[in-house]
Amino acid sequence: MSTTLEHPTTNIARRELSILVVGSESDPVQQTVSRLDKAGYTIEGTCSTQEALEKVRVGSCRVLLADVEMPETNGFVLLERALHFDPAVCVILVSQEYSVDSAIDAVKRGAHDFIRKPIDYARLSQTLDQLGERFATRSQVRELQDQLLSNLRFHGIIGKSPAMLDMFDMTQKVARHFTTVLITGPTGSGKELVARALHQMSPVAQQRFAVCNCSAIVDTLLESQLFGHVRGSFTGAADTRAGLFEYANDGTVFLDEIAETSLSMQSKLLRVTQNREIQRVGSPEVKTVNVRMIAATHRDLRAEVLAGRFREDLFYRIGAVEIRVPGLTERPEDIPLLVQHFVKKYSDAYGKILHGLSRRAQIVMLQHDWPGNVRELENVISSAALTTTNDFIDISDLPVHLQKPRARSGSAQDGWRPLPLEEIRRIHIQRVLEMCNGNRVRASQVLGIGRTSLYRYLKRAAHQRTSNSSVA
């Protein structure tokens, strides 16, 4: 075999391709190591399958060149164990008893190639060089993906799906105007990030942005936090303090989980939105504030209004402009981007070199329902990054419940099937009427349609049932 290398890039690819030769006899192993070493490959040899598997486990070889006929451990068993430790390792099996059937069988079981003894080094070099090129290309793709990720950020929010692009567009349009905004979306979908983006793009970006989580504090303390208090106004009020609205005057106040506030608190917030007025707890003095309010909730505020738990006048004040943040199931195409982002984040945070997820781990991530949305996805990557000892996160690094395959909701197993739109409408209206105990006025409000429209629909449906039964 020629030791002259033609292309500088081939030299580099060969040096970066770490190969381990495994065989039962020392001389043939050393012969192979020597020949490939002269050709410029980074190569080691061993006669111990245990040592070979350990090297695969720690990621110190990308290619395993293994003899099938080994007394200690058969080459196919070594193949299976090596792939278990590192699904990305490329195993090339070498055998005296070569046949097309055995080669196909080896490939089906996960081997990269199956070659005969004595080794044709020209052919082997060709295979190894192709592998080297593939790894180099993948590395370039990862770098390009990192660059692309930075282009797909919108003020810290990541997404390229149509749902997210629509949301970015709406956020950009609304941000320019000093107006109250309501952000809705499921828990863990990133509502606070949207609020921050709104502030950053607003005319008051240089002013303060203050966050208050309304579900985090009891009502009495919340009032003090938001509006301030005077000394002695309640037990523990040792001094006079300004509240959040005064603190962020001329800026933005973000009220997260606004649906969790009491009706009494809501009436005070209404006063801020209507009259731009506040009063510190225990003080008769009315102060004027100029604050942009952004509110967020995971609840359906209209339903909360109907249930009597949220003031309708406050709802109309804060809900005039609504931005809806989609849940992860509405934008599954963003999952790989988010995974990439969090792998980098926790790779840096934990001081580890993590390149990404193995292919089978990626599949698991795409199949999961993500009830906890982006927060849950971040926690999964953080947890996996903590525990993994390799530079790729594999299935075994993921939380236990993700390691078990689960059917997605909407699959045949849970009774879903595609129905005509009219049938879906009929079933939904029926369910809402049942929920409202037959009260059509209430049902029309829940459905968001006029009372007359509902009466007309029900009349038409009853007429259709009558004509169907007369035909039958």
Partner 1 sequence: MDWENMERSTYRVEISGWDSGESFFVEKVELQWDPDGGKEACVQNLLKQGSVVFIRLLQPLSTHHTYPVAYYVMEVGTRDARGLIRIVLEQARPRPPMSVRRLVAERAQ
Binding site for partner 1 (CB under 8 A): 57-60, 187-188, 192-193, 196, 208-213, 215-217, 225, 244, 247, 350-353, 371-372, 375-376, 378-379, 382-383, 385-391, 399-401
Nearer to partner 1, 216 or 320 (CB): 216
C-alpha separations of 85 from 55, 58, 245, 339 in Å: 10, 9, 56, 22
CB of 253 to partner 1, least distance (A): 10
> What tokens appear for 306 in the block?
């109907």
Residue with tokens 């997820």: 357
DSSP H or E run through 293: strand 292-297
> What tokens appear for 68 in the block?
């099938």
CB of 296 to partner 1, least distance (A): 14
Cis peptide bond upstream of 399, omega within 30: no
Residue with tokens 């993500």: 370
Nearer to partner 1, 14 or 196 (CB): 196
Q: Collapsing DSSP states into helix, strand and coil, what is residue 184?
A: strand
Nearer to partner 1, 23 or 188 (CB): 188
> What tokens appear for 302 in the block?
């209209």
Contacts within 8 Å (CB) and 24+ apart, 453-458: 454/429, 457/429, 458/429
Nearer to partner 1, 39 or 199 (CB): 199
Nearer to partner 1, 60 or 140 (CB): 60
CB of 8 to partner 1, least distance (A): 28
CB of 50 to partner 1, least distance (A): 14
Nearer to partner 1, 67 or 86 (CB): 86
Q: What is the full DSSP assignment across 330-344?
A: G-GGGHHHHHHHHHH
DSSP H or E run through 417: none
Helix, strand, coil abundance in the chain, percent, nearest 5: 50, 15, 35
CB of 255 to partner 1, least distance (A): 11
What is the side-by-side order of every strand in the sheet holding 63-67? 42-46, 18-22, 63-67, 90-95, 113-116
CB of 156 to partner 1, least distance (A): 8
Nearer to partner 1, 209 or 315 (CB): 209
Determine contact, residues 78/61, Cβ cutoff 8 Å.
Answer: no
Nearer to partner 1, 103 or 217 (CB): 217
CB of 334 to partner 1, least distance (A): 18
Residue with tokens 């451990």: 73
CB of 3 to partner 1, least distance (A): 31
Burial of residue 384, with CB atoms counted within 10 A of its CB: 0-12 exposed, 13-18 middle, 19 or more buried: buried
